Amino acid sequence: MVFLKLHAESARATADDFDRLRKQGAAASPLAGIPVSIKDLFDIRGDVTTAGSRVLQHEPAARNDAQSVARLRAAGLILIGRTNMTEFAYSGLGLNPHFGTPLNPFERPRGRIPGGSSSGAAISITDCMAFGALGTDTGGSCRIPAAYCGIVGFKPTARRVPLTGVFPLSPSLDSVGPLAASVACCALLDAILADESHPNLARADLRGARFAVPQSHVLEGTDSQVSASFSRALSALSRAGAHISEFALSELGELPHINRKGGLAAAQAYAVHRDRLATRAGEYDPRVSVRILRGREQDEADLLELRRARADLQQRLDPQLEGFDAVLMPTTPTIAPTLEELNTDQEYVRLNALALRNPSITNFLDRCAISVPCHELGTGPVGLMLMGKHGSDRRLLSLAAAVEALVSPGLPEE
């Protein structure tokens, strides 16, 4: 199931209103009437925000739009419905046992997963149901489904877009970002969400651009399709005049130890869900609740140490990356697995960790990043991730637009 709720009647009525205004010659937004989907993590006035869970289905309806939703509405975009997602956004795979898992367009009969947690958001784009999708990204939730499904997903610098009216996973890591068929579409949506002007996005000149490519941690476990696509993308950038610098960046290998008790996400998610889990744990997806409950392992001293380690890693890496326009890595080290491959909890845990490993680096380092498809048409979708500096969002989008023109095959075929 892609949509948990469709706003068919209100969407048609809004579209009719825009048509009448145009016929009357009234000035309307140039974006008026463009359809967008909204992840079921955002408040929409009059709707219950269920966050992909049955636990919240009897909560009061939202009295106001989330700030990001209000900005989309004010720009004239039409909200067509609430998209499916991993329960409470706590997985990179996109499975939802409560409402069903929307399937990846690539080899759909084989049942490949969409990636998560913004699963329905991605499929609303690949299946041409919406121009853009509003998602969130705490450890890759915009970029993983974009990579698995062959579209573009953007994680802006945290707090670039307000989190008001968004059900939290980890406030220290959460970001609001768009998914769309192209970098230009993501850039347009990002400008609206950040309440900035949105001129046409100019592609950066790649001649002389400097890209860092880590050789440790992020390339481990890379499958043959991802490895081949990543190598082709790097070669294309080199031919275009970009400078590719490969170096270890071994500090990234410290992340599994730093987050060994579940990290900030587990601690902060447990604070949100503690009371509900005490009385209604059986209503949660057990693969989600077991991750949230890891937050019980962390005391105040653990959290202080975790925040210190985060700041320390940022301070050590920032000087090493200062001279680069972006860091390049595969968004995910494998193409989308099938549902059958996730039958056992052991494989679910392993593949979820693998999917989250690379994109979650950006959230931990408090930077911005984007996933651009870089596979050959007709093969399994692969994402190329560009990670920029904190606050360099528009520069990163400009770079990504130029990279996309070199490496992207377009939307995958069914």
Query: For residue 67, which phi and psi values (nearest 5 degrees)?
Result: -60, -40
The two most distant CA atoms of the chain are separated, in Å, by 64
Separation of alpha carbons 335 and 341, rounded Å: 12
**Strand locations in 7-66 (E):** 35-39
Q: Of 39, 91, 175, 289, which one is the catalytic site residue?
A: 39
- Measure Cα distances from 178 to 153, 186, 196 in Å: 6, 6, 15
Tokens 């985060």 belong to 310
Separation of alpha carbons 126 and 321, rounded Å: 34
Strand order in the sheet with 175-180: 3-6, 78-83, 35-39, 132-137, 175-180, 152-155, 368-373, 383-388, 326-330, 210-214, 243-247
Residue of 251, 264, 268 lying closest to 316 (CA atoms): 251
Does 117 qualify as catalytic in the annotation?
yes
Separation of alpha carbons 150 and 170, rounded Å: 27
Burial environment of residue 414 by CB neighbours within 10 A (0 to 12, 13 to 18, 19 or more) = exposed
Does 227 qualify as catalytic in the annotation?
no
Does 141 qualify as catalytic in the annotation?
yes
Q: Of 53, 68, 117, 124, which one is the catalytic site residue?
A: 117
Burial environment of residue 207 by CB neighbours within 10 A (0 to 12, 13 to 18, 19 or more) = exposed
Q: Of 37, 53, 68, 141, which one is the catalytic site residue?
A: 141
Separation of alpha carbons 398 and 406, rounded Å: 13
Residue of 3, 67, 15 lying closest to 39 (CA atoms): 3
Active site residues: 39, 117, 141
